[in-house]
Amino acid sequence: MKNILVTGGNGQLATCLKEVSEEQGDLNFLFVSSKQLDITDYNAVNDFFNKNDISYCINCAAYTAVDKAETDEANATKVNVDGARNLSKVCSLFNTILIHISTDFVFDGEKTSLYSEEDKETPICVYGQTKLKGEIAIAESWEKHIIIRTSWLYSEYGNNFLKTMLRLGSERDKLGVVVDQIGTPTYAVDLAKVIVAFIDKESIDFGTFHFSNEGVASWYDFAKSIFDISKTKVELAPIKSEAYPTPAKRPSFSVMDKSKIKNELDITIPYWRDSLKIALKNLS
């Protein structure tokens, strides 16, 4: 039986992995929180691997407070760069395959066509910069790695855009949501299934892959679909980013090309609204 270590064990994606892993009888998932395993402490990581026979490490641990990172770069770097490097170095010592979750924020959003894995990364905020540095640290430390960049992650668990909109929709009659940032919502359960598919596949090409649900949306489109599907009555107004200034700049366009991961795993990716319907059904 393969032991699969999952860091960030209390987070949104790890919780979805718990749900998906219940169907995987031949895999033993070990979910650890930051209190149980501090990935920024190299000796703690090394000690954990010494005591446990780990075949795969899925790094779901991340500093994801995008705006806070602008004034808290040291802590963002500690988790997103140093933590990623520590895991990668220890994985190399124990011949453990590392699956690391990254982000569309490694791109600046200036492109008007799909972002491929070969496109130049030019992040425009501290969060994106630290996630890119984490990717580079992994690639420099250990060849047996899979980096999955994803976007606009949501689910029934944790704090995310879906749950924020449902809360605001129950509290307010009117809402303004940004219409000029374009990307793709990603249901964390769909991402969890893809991660397990990598583990199930005997022979894989290591490297960087893009994954989100299919389709294109603005945050306004995403919010409108949430309210339409959940039958929440709220007057929704499209607003420009400049009307809702944030400490961190976001890419204005970050739709990713998923051809590589579809070919690698031979999968069909669900359309974002179809997955949103499932999440909302589960929440209700």
Active site residues: 127
Give the helix ranges, DSSP H, for 172-254: 188-200, 219-230
Q: Closest Cα to residue 200, out of 17, 6, 22, 27?
A: 27
Residues 6+ apart with CB under 8 A from 9: 31, 32, 33, 36, 60
Burial of 202 (0-12, 13-18, 19+ CB in 10 A): exposed
The Cα-based distances of 283 to 114, 122, 271 in angstroms read 32, 37, 19
- Position 129: which residue type? Q
**Tokens representing residue 212 in the block:** 């989100």
Contact 62, 101 (CB under 8 A): yes
Cα 154–Cα 10–Cα 218 angle in degrees, nearest 5: 15
Amino acid at 98: L
Residue 60 in contact with residue 99, Cβ under 8 Å?
Answer: no
- Check: CB of residue 166 under 8 Å from CB of residue 21: no
